[in-house]
Amino acid sequence: MLEQQVKKFQKELNSGTVSLMLLSVIGQSASPMYGYEISKALQQSNDGKQGAIYPVLRNLHSKGLLDCEVKLSESGPPRKYFSISPLGKRVLEQWVSTWRATQHQVNNILGLGDNNE
């Protein structure tokens, strides 16, 4: 029972933050990234735990937050390369600000202060 509650809570947290993490990873990249590269970057910073990112990428693209270019691949089918759009950069700044404010509020309620531990 307890383990189920923890898993459910983790799933809720992940679903609420995956768009922020994807936009940030792509925004920090010096060049456009395709899905597998994005997934690997997330796994490195997320203890190897990563769900399906492709629906979220499509959603961010449909909202104009990501630009997408299809390029031929030497080792398989064409790949979709994603880069952050100008709108995506502005939205990411706002999301980061919102994240920090929310993190601050939650930490205060939990008695953690601002030390992020």
Residues 64-74, mean pLDDT to the nearest whole number: 95
Residue 117 pLDDT exceeds 80: no
* Structural domain contains residue 107: no
Range of the domain at 19: 2-85
115 assigned to some structural domain: no
Mean pLDDT, residues 57-73 taken together: 96
Count how many domains the chain has: 1
Model pLDDT, residue 114: 63
pTM: 0.82
Mean pLDDT across the stretch 62-86?
Answer: 95
Strands (E), 27-75: 33-34, 66-73
- Best CA proximity match to 53, nearest among 70, 38, 64, 63: 38
Residues 98 and 50 sit within 8 Å (Cβ to Cβ): no
Cβ burial, residue 67 (10 Å; 0-12/13-18/19+): middle
Contact 40, 59 (CB under 8 A): no
pLDDT band at 14 (very low <50, low <70, confident <90, very high): confident
Within a domain: residue 114? Answer: no
Whether 93 is in a domain gets the answer no
What CATH number is attached to the domain comprising 53?
Answer: 1.10.10.10
Query: Quick check: 66 and 82 in contact, CB under 8 A?
Result: yes
How far apart CA 79 and CA 113 sit, in angstroms, is 44
